[in-house]
A and B are shown apart, each in its own frame.
Chain A
Amino acid sequence: MKITSPPNWHYPVTIGDFAKKTDDEVKRSDPLFTYLYETTVQEGDKWGETKDVKRKFPARFEASLDGIIRKWYIRTGAVVARAGVDLLEIEEPCTHEVQFGGLCAECGQDMTEMDYLTKELNSERATVNMTHDNMALLISHKEAVRAEEDSKKRLLSAKKLSLIVDLDQTVIHTTCERTIAEWQADPDNPNYDAVKDVKGFQLADDNAAHIVASWYYVKMRPGLPAFFDRMSKLYEMHVYTMATRAYAQEVCKIIDPQRRFFGERILSRDENYGEKIKSLNRLFPNHTDMAVIIDDRADIWKYCENLVRVPVFNFFPGAGDINASFLPKQQELVTQPPTKPADVPAKEGAKPEGESTSTSSATAHPTEPVPAASTNGALGDLEQQLISISAVESPESFEEQVKEQEKVILTQQTERPLLQQQLVLDKEDEEAEVDEITQSTENGYTQTTEHHKHRHAVLHDDDRGLETIGAHLRLIHQTFYDEYQRNKIVPHSGRVAELKGQKSPKKRPVDTVVPDVAEIMPRLKRETLHGCVIVFSGIIPLGVDVQNSDFALWVKSFGAQISTTVNKFTTHVIANPDRKTTKVKKAARYDTIMIVNAEWMFQCCTRWEHVDEGPYLIEMDDADKNGSPIEDMEDDSIDVTGDEGADEAESPIQFDILDDDQWSSMNNELDDFLNESDTDGGSASDSESVRSADGTRSEKTKTKRKRMTATEANDVSEDDSDASVKSTSSRLQRKKRRTMERVTSLTNVENAEKSSGLPSPETTGPEEEHGDNEGKTFDPQGEGPDLDSDFDDGLEAAMMDEFEKSASED
């Protein structure tokens, strides 16, 4: 180790005599040489007068480490002017490259000792941890590079790559519900076939949950042993999970009983330094170019290029990822109203209207987006709970996370959501029998092809995700080694060397020969959706930056571009099939734009191919294509400012002549308008004011609303009389409110904070009015005058009529 002049010297110094010669052995604190430094001191003479004099003082320099002196860089009489000048070189017997718990693994010395000679703690020399199962073993950077070179050579010679495997919801799914054990014991149960290969284990020392040794039931993804078997020939596999070590080990016992696939290469939360994100550098500090990851979540990998994102494996509906509380929050969902009432499982029932703010992460977890090849149950399972990442999150303490996990486990143990779901299904089946309807095959949710019984099963064993993952991994492996072979064959006096002007191409570093997975994968993926310009509509929740949302990033990694507006360059609109948003309608007018549901995107992204849009197209009727006048109007209003005043003023024209159907279509449009503005970041301000108004109103006029919903649907005239006591616009507002309630997932997010924002007077005026005195008087300052100018005569007359009538009633 080179010794340099320390910063605490009084410069300049003059080197004096040497105490040691080259090749002498030195011990720590042995004097090496003397030096002289000059400083001003006060000196008194015999008359008691003091004056400042410059004097030279000798000092000794001591060795800070053991070893043998290899070289002197200084000579006697040399002047050292500043800190950092090389003095001498001491060769150490041990450089402490590997340290275990503060001890050098090579010489057994304590690395944490510190004394007056210590310039830098020895423990600073080894800071890299690349061990899977130990926190205390650290190695130096140099050693890490060496280790990686070794493993690289080994992998190349074995023609393998590294594969990092996530456990929960990628290759297995775990629940804590003891219902599973009961079903396993009962061959008559409709779920018996699905759960018979589920394995259970008990964690004796469960530090996460202070519940008496809870049972965990692990379901392997279908075809897992075969998948591992195939992959272990191409990849050296590692486990990287956010679960505890004990849990990870138990799971590995199940998925890898002979320890053939993973060996001891298991990295768990306990060894992740309390980080909430996973990092390739934890295992491969310098070279990540031969590592491939499979995980169901991209955000915790920071959208790493080495990641093959796999469809979530969600076998136990509602169970979610029991270790998710240790990951960053990902849930902010746009839940669609379920397509069929039969599709509402018990857990949806727990959420009023299917979308209240999700409190427990068990219910909030997104269900499987893509059962890649499942013919049935695709839509039912999908439920289109879409994910996005919350941009910033407050750091949660570890304890909170533990508590959260405990809560999830406790919920599963006590509430037993699966059992509830099965009961709901059983009940449906009974009803179905009464109705003598065999709804076995066409029912999207209940799965029956395998066990064709009267009772339908909650669980189905139809996941095909591993097949596609396997294909991708094979493709990556093949591309990697094809490229590697090509690079190797390049002749020694080849073009590369010429271009680089290298003299000896033989000495090319291995790096240029070995391709980088992080380059290969994007190249393979980019082709998938190359040239597609995609617009999301009604998919990404409000308040999320569309470009940086989880899905957008996902799609972008496949080469597509994301746009926020529909224009002639747009090729695809990914929309919510239940909500015809303005963007969708606008897109419908272009023949070239395909309007597809989110399933198409999932299929493309999981299969890595441009899937035929045909089956995923959203039906558009002619009216949508041609664009009705109302739409145009709506479009315009949005394009200008999204001014709701325009709506209010115009829409009432229709009121008297509308029948029920038109009412509902209007509802839809309003719906669309609101959603549209929600998803569209540009016109947020407008939707905010509507929302805030909604927020305040919903508290005040609860009773009113109830009455409204009861009567409104079937009796328009009654509704009219009821509503006309207020301004016409208020009726519109109520309608808005009702539609808003139907899509509360969007509004709930923002209500709390936005309700403080001042709503425009047009919206609040009449509402407060209703809230306080239920429809007694017409508010003269409110909408009346504004609206009057726009009303046609007939409506105005009718309105006044009603108004007078109600006034007389009062």
Chain B
Amino acid sequence: MFFIKELEKTIQLHPSYFGPLIRSHIHRELLLKEEGSSTGKFTIVCILDSFEISEGQVIPGSGAAEYTVHYKAIVWRPYKGEVMDGIVSSVMRSGFFVDCGSLQAFVGRAMIPADIKFDANATPPQWTDNGDQIIEKGTNIRIKIKGLRSEVDKMYAIGTMKEDYLGPLQS
């Protein structure tokens, strides 16, 4: 699910950037470092333009200045039970992996409808019901999150397609 969240970030700036363009430097630094990063709970998708920069404070010893930036960002946080779309990144006998933005989900054999079988001899290997449902690398697919676990900067998810309207998307 997407949220707008207020966040705070401390940015250190090298003295060579001190000058009239200091604001844009900070902005660039913020976009570069924060956009797309994942905290383990959520991923920062997009930083909104309005943001506040605190007074700079020169750190003793290094000469660099420290700024605290308050900003708003659109973040994405997956929830258990959420339905989302992704792209299949790898297919194997025990299931397949789906990339949903920053989240990698695994759909195991038990989470795949029984009529869809694994075909190892196909190139590339695929899960298929020998009809119109073919799951191979690159397939767009809709899954539902069954389990979620977050580590420091990474999230793992287990997905399922054993419910209505889940599975490969016609593109």
Task: List the interface of chain A (C-beta within 8 A of B).
Answer: 98, 100-110, 112, 131-134, 136-137, 139, 143, 147, 150-151, 154, 158, 259-260, 263-264
Contact = CB atoms under 8 A, between A and B. Distances in A.
A98 B95 contact: yes
A133 B123 contact: no
Q: Which of B97, B120, B121, B147 has the most CB of A within 10 A?
A: B147
Interface in B76-102: 80, 90-95, 97
B158 A100 contact: yes
Q: Which of B107, B110, B125, B158 has the most CB of A within 10 A?
A: B158
B156 A103 contact: yes
A134 B90 contact: yes
B93 A104 contact: no
Contacts of B109: 98, 105
B58 interface: no
24 contacts: A100-B108, A100-B158, A103-B147, A103-B148, A103-B149, A103-B156, A103-B158, A105-B94, A105-B106, A105-B109, A105-B111, A108-B147, A108-B158, A108-B160, A110-B147, A112-B149, A131-B92, A131-B94, A136-B106, A137-B94, A151-B93, A158-B121, A264-B91, A264-B92
B94 A139 contact: yes
A106 B108 contact: yes
A465 to B, nearest CB: 27
Nearest to B80: A108
Contact of A137 (B106, B147, B151): B106
Q: Which of A110, A112, A260 has the most CB of B within 10 A?
A: A110
Q: Interface residues of B: mostly helix, strand, loop or mixed?
A: strand
B146 interface: yes
A106 B110 contact: yes
Contacts of A260: 123
A154 B93 CA distance: 12
A114 to B, nearest CB: 14
A103 B157 contact: yes
A151 B97 CA distance: 20
A264 B158 contact: no
B137 interface: yes
B124 interface: yes
Interface residues of B, number: 31
A154 B120 contact: yes
Given A136-B156, A154-B120, A101 B94 contact: no
A100 B107 CA distance: 9
Q: Interface residues of A: mostly helix, strand, loop or mixed?
A: loop
Contact of A134 (B97, B107, B120): B97
B98 to A, nearest CB: 11
Q: Which of A143, A158, A259, A264 has the most CB of B within 10 A?
A: A264
Interface string B31-53: 00000000000000000000000
The list of the 8 closest CB pairs from A to B, nearest first, reads A108-B147, A101-B156, A105-B108, A108-B146, A100-B106, A106-B110, A108-B158, A103-B147
Contacts of A151: 93, 120
A100 B156 contact: yes
B111 A106 contact: yes
B93 A105 contact: no
A416 B57 CA distance: 47
B88 to A, nearest CB: 11
A106 B107 CA distance: 8
Nearest to B157: A103
Contact of A109 (B90, B92, B137, B147): B147
B126 to A, nearest CB: 10
Contacts of A102: 149, 151, 156
B136 to A, nearest CB: 10
Interface of B: 80, 90-95, 97, 104, 106-111, 120-121, 123-125, 137, 146-149, 151, 154, 156-158, 160
Contacts, number: 83
A260 B94 CA distance: 21
A272 to B, nearest CB: 17
A102 B90 CA distance: 19
A132 B137 CA distance: 15
Contacts of A133: 90
Given A98-B110, A108-B147, A136-B106, 8 more contacts: A100-B106, A105-B158, A107-B146, A133-B90, A136-B104, A147-B94, A154-B121, A264-B91
Contact of A259 (B94, B104, B123, B149): B123
Contacts of A139: 94
A264 B137 contact: yes
B110 A105 contact: yes
Contacts of A105: 94-95, 106-111, 158
A147 B93 contact: yes
Nearest to B146: A108
A412 B96 CA distance: 40
Contacts of B94: 98, 105, 131, 137, 139, 143, 147
A151 B95 CA distance: 15
B124 A263 contact: yes
A158 B120 CA distance: 11
Contacts of B111: 105-106
A109 B158 CA distance: 9
Q: Which of B90, B125, B160 has the most CB of A within 10 A?
A: B90
Contacts of B108: 98, 100, 105-106
Contacts of B91: 264
A260 B107 CA distance: 25
A339 B118 CA distance: 59
Contacts of B137: 264
A227 B86 CA distance: 37
Contacts of B121: 154, 158
A136 B90 CA distance: 13
Contacts of A154: 120-121
A263 B92 CA distance: 11
A132 B111 CA distance: 21
A259 B123 CA distance: 8
Nearest to B92: A131
Contacts of A134: 90, 97
Q: Which of A108, A110, A151, A264 has the most CB of B within 10 A?
A: A108
A150 B158 contact: no
A154 B154 CA distance: 36
Contacts of A98: 94-95, 108-110
A102 B151 CA distance: 10
A101 B125 contact: no
A131 B93 CA distance: 9
Nearest to A139: B94
B86 to A, nearest CB: 14
Contacts of B158: 100, 103-105, 108
B156 A263 contact: no
A770 B121 CA distance: 78
A158 B94 CA distance: 21
A205 B92 CA distance: 26
Contacts of A143: 94
A275 B91 CA distance: 25
Nearest to B118: A150
